Structure 1
Amino acid sequence: MALSKAPAVSHVRVDEGSAGQRIDNFLVRECKGVPKSHIYRILRSGEVRVNSRRVDQTYRLQLGDELRIPPIRVAEKEAGPAIPVGKPFDILFEDEALLVLDKPAGLAVHGGSGVSFGLIEQLRRQRPEAKFLELVHRLDRETSGLLIVAKKRSALTVLHDMMREGKVQKRYLTLVAGRWLNPLQHIKLPLFKYLTEGGERRVCVNPEGKPSHSIVRLLKRWQAYSLVEVELKTGRTHQIRVHLSHSGFPLCGDDKYGDFALNKRLEKEGLKRMFLHAAKLSFHHPLTDQLIELSASLPAELEEFVVAVEQAGQREYG
């Protein structure tokens, strides 16, 4: 790796996209490739100035702040694989503060953990003029459906608070193995995150885990399968998958917590992905307080499988 030429002192004016961000996080993003330890060192030494004054790493940037960033020599890294522009995403709502899109299955929401790029990197590639695009929440790679992206930091901050306070209603559709009996059922089981020996992230029901609450509504039931809607009252990792699997109703096509023998059979019958779709979102706009209610239909491959199940067996419910 070669060292890049040391740049001159740079001066940056804080725009709306960076206002409210901690200065250490801003510098990590602004000075790509610079170790965090060096970022903190130049902050402590006073080499970074905001409006000609020293600040510590907890300082939150204000709109219009003038930053002085000292010259930094950075080791140039080899360029990673190019991010393809890809097919434009299906946008269901957009204004100056946020957008909501219908995420396709099979695409990670962001790069990392062996994935060179994800939806957010591709969206930024499609919109090079956008100053700020950040995920408000996440969906598993194989989950399709509604996903919120913030276009302003002020909107992101409020939406994160709303998520924590349970003010964003999220409902998912899933097909599970087995005959779900109750028209309405609350599942309250604590979820605990851990890593497997191979380093993969997993979740299990454990008294030491975080409180988690799902509300399950039965939509249709056949002899071997049930179509249910799951409302999340908390947003834990893999919550729906673990709550339903622990209850004896694994998600069809789930390769982590599902019935693996059943999944192989389902694949031959046409279901080649996990049956989980973020179908409905309801929340008040973070800046205008307007009520936003959105829905996304089942993708064709899931709708076709439901039709096949319907034709194969007599419906018992719904």
Structure 2
Amino acid sequence: MNTTRTHPDIPVIYEDNHLLVIDKPSGLLSQEDHTGDPDVLTLCKSYIKKKYNKPGKVYLGLVHRLDRPVSGVMVLARTSKAASRLSEEIRKRRVEKTYWALVNGQTPMFDDITHFLLKDNRSNTVKAYDKPRKGAKESRLRYTTIKQNRNHSLIEVELITGRAHQIRVQMAKSGFPLWGDYRYGDPGKDGKNIGLRAVRLKVKHPTQKELMDFKAPVPKDTPWTMFEY
């Protein structure tokens, strides 16, 4: 597999004149923030600039994000036209996103859950409520349990809506916090790597109009080594 050859290095899943699809490592920011730590957008711009010997500034559109401790499939737009069309597909919920989550506890074999999520921008945390509340957004996901052991479950999650920290906070509210997610119920971890991975993303190509199906392999590191695949 091709990589960006940056520090940290980022696997490239797919690339053409309009798209750059990567496998984001856990612990890496999607976009630059106040910390000054490495981020996907800056590193991938550097990769494009060097690979294609582009003069001046490189355009790369960030059309969606993954939380810093989350890994997996992430699509970036290499043209403004692609960025506009991908953003429209996401806004209209035409993009299918599938995640694997490794959670504490034994989950039901299947569940379809709805909460109302309210974000606190000051603390960058989200609270989940069972009933509507002023300012809270209705949020829904469904999941299927893939594997279980005595203390943990591996589930496949389909997002029906796309909210900040949605899987993390909804699973914690349901009594199954994600492995390593100290913010929402699994203390004692550093929070740089949690049991959440974007394993698949299906989206219409912005110019060719065909349905693209991007997948990320299962990592061979903690916590994914907890189960055999």
Task: Encode CA deviations 1:59-105: one digit per residue, 9 max, x unaligned.
Answer: xxxxxxxxxxxxxxxxxxxxxxxxx9425421111111111100011
Whether 1:162 and 2:89 are equivalent positions in the alignment is yes
SS in 2 for 1:142: coil
CA distance in 2, matches of 1:272, 1:256: 11
Q: 1:164 to 1:225 in 2, by over 3 A?
A: same
How many residue pairs were aligned? 214
CA distance in 1, matches of 2:33, 2:8: 21
Choose which of 181, 203, 208 in structure 1 pairs with 2:126: 203
Q: 1:86 to 1:248 in 2, by over 3 A?
A: same
C-alpha root-mean-square deviation of aligned residues, in Å? 2.2
More helix by share: 1
Quick one: which amino acid aligns to residue 100 of structure 2? L
Within a 5 Å distance, the mapping from 1:46-195 to structure 2 comes to 85-128=6-49, 129=54, 131-181=58-108, 183-195=109-121
Within a 5 Å distance, the mapping from 1:1-80 to structure 2 comes to none
Task: Encode CA deviations 1:232-275: one digit per residue, 9 max, x unaligned.
Answer: 11110000000100000000100210221xx45xx8xxx98211
Q: 5+ residue gaps in structure 1?
A: 1-83, 311-318
Quick one: which amino acid aligns to residue 280 of structure 1? R
SS in 1 for 2:21: strand
Quick one: which amino acid aligns to residue 97 of structure 1? H
Once the two structures are TM-superposed, the CA of residue 306 in structure 1 deviates from its matched residue by 2.6
Once the two structures are TM-superposed, the CA of residue 126 in structure 1 deviates from its matched residue by 2.4
Q: 1:273: which partner in 2?
A: 193
CA distance in 1, matches of 2:193, 2:226: 11
Q: Is the 8 A contact 2:110 2:143 kept in 1?
A: yes
Q: Is the 8 A contact 2:69 2:192 kept in 1?
A: no
Q: 1:292: which partner in 2?
A: 212
SS in 1 for 2:155: strand
Q: Percent identity?
A: 34
SS in 2 for 1:125: helix
Q: Is the 8 A contact 1:88 1:126 kept in 2?
A: no
Once the two structures are TM-superposed, the CA of residue 305 in structure 1 deviates from its matched residue by 2.7
Q: 1:250: which partner in 2?
A: 177
SS in 2 for 1:226: strand
CA distance in 2, matches of 1:177, 1:87: 29
Quick one: which amino acid aligns to residue 199 of structure 2? A
TM-score normalised per structure 2: 0.86
Once the two structures are TM-superposed, the CA of residue 200 in structure 1 deviates from its matched residue by 2.5
Runs of 4 or more off by more than 4 Å in structure 1?
none
Task: Encode CA deviations 1:170-196: one digit per residue, 9 max, x unaligned.
Answer: 011111111112x3211111111114x
Q: 1:282: which partner in 2?
A: 202
CA distance in 1, matches of 2:192, 2:29: 17
TM-score normalised per structure 1: 0.63
Quick one: which amino acid aligns to residue 115 of structure 2? L
Q: Is the 8 A contact 2:63 2:83 kept in 1?
A: yes
Q: 1:88 to 1:224 in 2, by over 3 A?
A: closer
SS in 1 for 2:44: helix
Task: Encode CA deviations 1:16-66: one digit per residue, 9 max, x unaligned.
Answer: xxxxxxxxxxxxxxxxxxxxxxxxxxxxxxxxxxxxxxxxxxxxxxxxxxx
Q: 1:304: which partner in 2?
A: 225
SS in 2 for 1:157: helix
| Bigger RCO (CA 8 Å, 6+ sep) | 2
Q: 5+ residue gaps in structure 2?
A: none
CA distance in 1, matches of 2:59, 2:192: 35
Quick one: which amino acid aligns to residue 73 of structure 2? L
CA distance in 2, matches of 1:179, 1:86: 37
Once the two structures are TM-superposed, the CA of residue 166 in structure 1 deviates from its matched residue by 1.0
Q: 1:131 to 1:146 in 2, by over 3 A?
A: same
SS in 2 for 1:190: strand
